[in-house]
Structure 1
Amino acid sequence: MRQDEYNVLMLGLDGAGKTTLLEKIKHIDTGIPGMSPDKIQPTVGVNITKVTIEKDLVKFMDLGGQKDLRRIWESYYEDSHGILFVIDATDRERMDEAKELLMLLVRVDDLEGLPLLIAANKCDQKEAELVAVKEMINGMADCLDERDVRVMETSGIEGTGIKTAMEWLHNRIIDNKGAKPPLVADV
């Protein structure tokens, strides 16, 4: 049997909570509890998880966010269908760094036109500043061209907003399949 497969890049600074978010995505898909957040180590390289959303196979590729690991990101761009950019909404000191990184990504030819979900992560913490994340993205509006972009609150710990965020991203990827057709997986 063959199934449409879509690749989603999970990008962002180190410490933003990408892997914790991925563990919660796996839990939502399978019902099996993921790794305990206190046991999660920084990703070195890539962490891949496949989930089914509706009838489609969606492969999430969580790429390490440390500066010296970002050079491997480009090897995953060409086959991508969407971007999940994770921002630590509690880390006001690194928001400018996150913005610079996102600005670089939206200018990459292989990523042009791909749906972009910005996860304002760690929204379960009182220090979270969703407004600051939204203002940052609004300030980038000219660079985002006509791609589908959305900022959503998430919590990799509590699971807040993740199901809705994944549905939004999946729907936009499907809407964009004329420009970026799915891969086909044998299942």
Structure 2
Amino acid sequence: MFSLLRGLWDYFFRREEYYILIIGLHNAGKTTFLEQTKRLFISNYNGMPLEKITATVGLNIATVDIRSHRMILWDLGGQEDLQQLWDKYYGECHGVVYVVDSCDTENLITSKNVLIKAMKHQDLQEAPLLILANKQDRQDALPLTQLEATLDTNSATIGGRDCKIQRVSALQGEGVKEGIEWLFNRVNESSRRLPKLRDND
């Protein structure tokens, strides 16, 4: 009897989990994006003031529930020495958020090269990719068309994966919800890697 009840509990209350990587160069706005995501999708969440966010050394993690699913977001530090650790997470992830600083014209080519290197990794083959053109609230932000041209998000660069480039302001929260929902739909529809199953808690 216990096994039957346990089986029914697992069937009705388990959640499918998707692991999402948030990567990009240092100071692109990854942790601010993560904080805004938590504010949007976690009830009664009282986050840290956005102006007090500091550089990520290692990893920040957030768990958000979307409908009957759960997304585990890994925000990885973007400093050059920390980029060497990114591939340790590739094998588990279902989708990628790549954050670009729309105002940092000096490092835009570097950002492009880092993106291409990540997308060519065998463990990220066909993983849906959301590119966030961040800091679009600022006057010196490059327009989306120029960023698209520079990043060159064609099939040679990103392969056959689902890809979307979206203008956002992580600081203001603009475009954050739309981006997360697009990526959720892509990983939910993808057959690339089965979701993990966890009991609802």
Amino acid at match of 1:25: T
* Matching of residues 1-187 of structure 1 within 5 Å: 1-31=13-43, 32-129=45-142, 130-138=144-152, 140-176=154-190, 178-187=191-200
User: Percent identity of the aligned residues?
Assistant: 37
Structure 1 residue aligned with 2:4:
none
| TM score, norm. by length of structure 2 | 0.89
Shift of 1:2: 1.3
| TM score, norm. by length of structure 1 | 0.95
**Root-mean-square deviation over aligned CA pairs:** 1.2
Shift of 1:140: 4.5
Unaligned runs of 5+ in 1: none
Amino acid at match of 2:79: Q
Q: What SS does structure 2 have at the residue aligned with 1:151? A: strand
Distance 1:168 1:85 in 2: 14
Q: What per-residue deviation string (whole Å, max 9, x for no partner) do you get for residues 56-112 of structure 1?
A: 100110000001111211111101000000000111111001000001011100000
Q: What SS does structure 1 have at the residue aligned with 2:145? A: helix
Contact 2:18 2:72 in 1 (8 A): yes
Amino acid at match of 1:113: E
Distance 1:139 1:81 in 2: 20
Amino acid at match of 1:154: V
Q: What per-residue deviation string (whole Å, max 9, x for no partner) do you get for residues 4-28 of structure 1?
A: 0000000000000000010000000
State the aligned residue count: 186
Deviates more, 1:23-32 or 1:128-137: 128-137
Distance 2:155 2:47 in 1: 36
Distance 1:131 1:97 in 2: 18
Deviates more, 1:91-100 or 1:32-41: 32-41
Shift of 1:136: 2.2
Unaligned runs of 5+ in 2: 1-12
Shift of 1:33: 4.2
Shift of 1:143: 2.2
Amino acid at match of 2:173: G
Distance 1:126 1:103 in 2: 28
